[in-house]
Chains A and B, each alone.
Chain A
Amino acid sequence: MLTITINGTPYEAEVEPRTSLADFIRAQGLTGTKVGCEQGVCGACTVQLDGEPVRACLVLAVQAAGCAVRTIEGLEDGPLQRAFHEQHALQCGFCTAGILMTADAFKREHPEASEQEVREALSGHICRCTGYHPIVRAILSA
């Protein structure tokens, strides 16, 4: 039996060692975390593991045993989401959960980040509809 705490709630499940953390999270009904490429390229599945942004498709669920995971469902409504809304920083929204989890951790570590630093932080996220300008503007203005 594997127990992972997600957004403060312990979830217990029987899993195979090959199960990714992303699949574990979604199997608990927390489907805000999206799974895109499953090879660490697109960034859609980004969650926070003990406070650090990680690709949930590149972590095995068994590796997160006893850790604290935070997903988009655990990100309280705040200036970041408002800025995304105001700047029209999403269309289909598939990439948004992952971007918000990276941006939240990034803003905590770099509250006064420059545009260049924001762009570098976003380099691990692929967005195919909105384009990056409004996303960068939203993170800078949040």
Chain B
Amino acid sequence: MKPAPFEYVKAGSVEEALQALTEDAVILAGGQSLIPQLNARERRPGRLVDINHAGLGVIRRTDGVLRIGATVHQAALERSRIVKEHWPLLAEVARRVGHVATRTRGTVGGTVMHADPRAQLPIALLALDAELVMQGPLLVELAVPPLPEGARTGYAEHGRGWPEAAAAVVRAPGYARVVVTGGRAREVEHALLDGASPREAAELVGGEGHRHALLADVTRRALAQC
């Protein structure tokens, strides 16, 4: 359970990180998913480019838009007053990611780029219409627009840690955004906009059998919070 040898480059800026990104290099952010893969030798990169000192660790709100630097820790998102006040969905979801001692290292950008379909934060970020700000191959920032006027949000999941099914929803007059494990549930959104009850709409979530039952259940529970 030791990684294969690699070269380590600590990038002091985005430019340095981009320059260091050779073909066999991978980016090291929080490392909470990457390092287990290295330890199990599922991945054997020649070089790790550490972006934790590249100036991407800041959360700020400018012109109503939340800007989350790529290496902002999940714990910082969980603790942020700005996030709690203006994007309560993100604060609620952040505290469910992994465990205390992985959220202190794990980054918001890392969980997005790692792109495990069961990961909670990407589901919430998609429901909030977040944009990925890239500089070449490097994610530098996530930009989350303000919630629509009068919006209410909800989140529910089944199973702990890596939920088998999760749903994040944003509802406002004339607006519905429903994202479940696997992607947007557009049929549910259309039904809600057409006046269907949350219970009826949740049934349209897709999937078959047990999977459908789980997805419909989390969607119903998330909608009930709105």
Residues of A within 8 A of B (CB): 16-18, 20, 38-40, 43, 46, 49, 52-55, 57-60, 62-63, 102, 105-106, 120-121, 123-124
Contacts and interface: CB of A to CB of B under 8 A. Distances in A.
B99 interface: yes
Nearest to B95: A120
Nearest to B48: A17
Interface stretch (B34-42, B84-92, B185-193): B34-42
Given A39-B1, A39-B39, A57-B39, A123 B8 contact: no
Contact of B32 (A40, A46, A49, A60): A40
B5 to A, nearest CB: 6
B39 A46 contact: no
Interface stretch (B101-109, B121-129, B166-174, B207-215): B101-109
Nearest to B38: A18
A124 B31 contact: no
A111 B10 CA distance: 37
A63 B39 contact: no
A25 B38 CA distance: 20
A60 B104 contact: no
Nearest to B3: A18
> Which 7 A-B pairs give the minimum distances between C-beta atoms?
A124-B99, A17-B8, A38-B1, A39-B36, A52-B104, A53-B101, A18-B3
Contacts, number: 76
Interface of B: 1-8, 10, 28, 31-32, 35-36, 38-40, 48, 50, 52, 75, 98-102, 104-105, 160-161
A17 B7 contact: yes
Contacts of B98: 124
B124 to A, nearest CB: 18
Contacts of A52: 75, 104
A18 B4 contact: yes
24 contacts: A17-B5, A18-B2, A38-B2, A40-B102, A43-B99, A43-B101, A46-B101, A52-B104, A54-B105, A55-B102, A58-B31, A58-B32, A58-B35, A58-B36, A58-B105, A59-B35, A60-B8, A60-B31, A62-B10, A102-B100, A105-B100, A106-B100, A121-B100, A123-B100
A54 B98 CA distance: 12
Contacts of B32: 40, 55, 58
Contacts of B39: 38-39, 57
A63 B104 CA distance: 14
Given A20-B35, A39-B36, A39-B40, 18 more contacts: A16-B5, A17-B5, A17-B8, A17-B48, A18-B5, A18-B38, A38-B39, A40-B36, A43-B101, A53-B101, A54-B101, A57-B39, A58-B32, A60-B35, A60-B48, A105-B100, A123-B161, A124-B100
